[in-house]
Copies of this chain bind each other. A is one copy, B any other.
């Protein structure tokens, strides 16, 4: 046997990335074998190497793709004038974006240590870009006198860490709707940074 019926790189490629994403998130990069990914897709392990030069690149591309998506999505959110309104928009955006991609988020935060040094540097840089955007809002708020925070960098990381926590417990079948979750978190974020 060789090429299979209906096989096409436009189909197999995405399916490999999806399977890898799910398995990496579930069991961890190091614990998942190329053969497991291949089995999920329905091909032999060797076939994966038509789509990625190696396992490490597979991980890196998933993470880099996620960070790029995150930044692009946030960039496309219209920015209000007031820092308060911009922070509110960010809170909602961040919660929703992350809840829609729990696996990618999990990997982006947990598999940093399994990246090679160069790949790690790239991902870290992308993350810093995103964080700097948030810090910009906080700085603006401080200048405008609506936010009272002794250290915008720490506050940035604290806010993001708090919002990221949603992914650890939120279940769509749970007792709270997305809107309610957003409202609760916005309440806390707002109070935490306001004067």
* A172 interfacial contact with B, CB 8 Å: no
Known: A27-B113, A114-B31. A168 touches B176 (CB 8 A): no
Q: Report whether B176 and A151 are in contact in the complex, using a CB–CB cutoff of 8 Å.
A: yes
Known: A184-B151, A188-B193, A192-B191. A113 touches B26 (CB 8 A): yes
What residues of chain B lie closer than 8 Å to A157, measured between beta carbons? 165, 168-169
Which residue from B114, B160, B187 sits with its C-beta under 8 Å from A28? B114
Question: How far does the alpha carbon of A147 sit from the alpha carbon of B186 in the complex, in Å?
Answer: 16
Question: How far does the alpha carbon of A77 sit from the alpha carbon of B52 in the complex, in Å?
Answer: 53
B-facing residues in A28-64 (Cβ within 8 Å): 28-31
Q: A14: shortest Cβ distance to chain B, in Å?
A: 24
* A104 interfacial contact with B, CB 8 Å: no
Interface residues of A (CB under 8 A from B): 26-31, 110, 113-114, 149-151, 154-155, 157-162, 164-165, 168-169, 176, 181, 183-185, 187-189, 191-194
Q: Report whether A188 and B192 are in contact in the complex, using a CB–CB cutoff of 8 Å.
A: yes
Which residue from B113, B149, B160 sits with its C-beta under 8 Å from A165? B160
Question: How far does the alpha carbon of A150 sit from the alpha carbon of B164 in the complex, in Å?
Answer: 19
Q: A164: shortest Cβ distance to chain B, in Å?
A: 7
What residues of chain B lie closer than 8 Å to A187, measured between beta carbons? 149-150
| Interface pairs (18), CB distance under 8 Å | A29-B31, A30-B30, A30-B31, A110-B110, A149-B188, A150-B187, A151-B184, A154-B176, A154-B184, A161-B161, A161-B162, A161-B164, A161-B168, A162-B165, A188-B192, A189-B192, A191-B191, A191-B193
Q: Report whether A150 and B184 are in contact in the complex, using a CB–CB cutoff of 8 Å.
A: yes
What residues of chain B lie closer than 8 Å to A151, measured between beta carbons? 176, 184
Q: A152: shortest Cβ distance to chain B, in Å?
A: 11
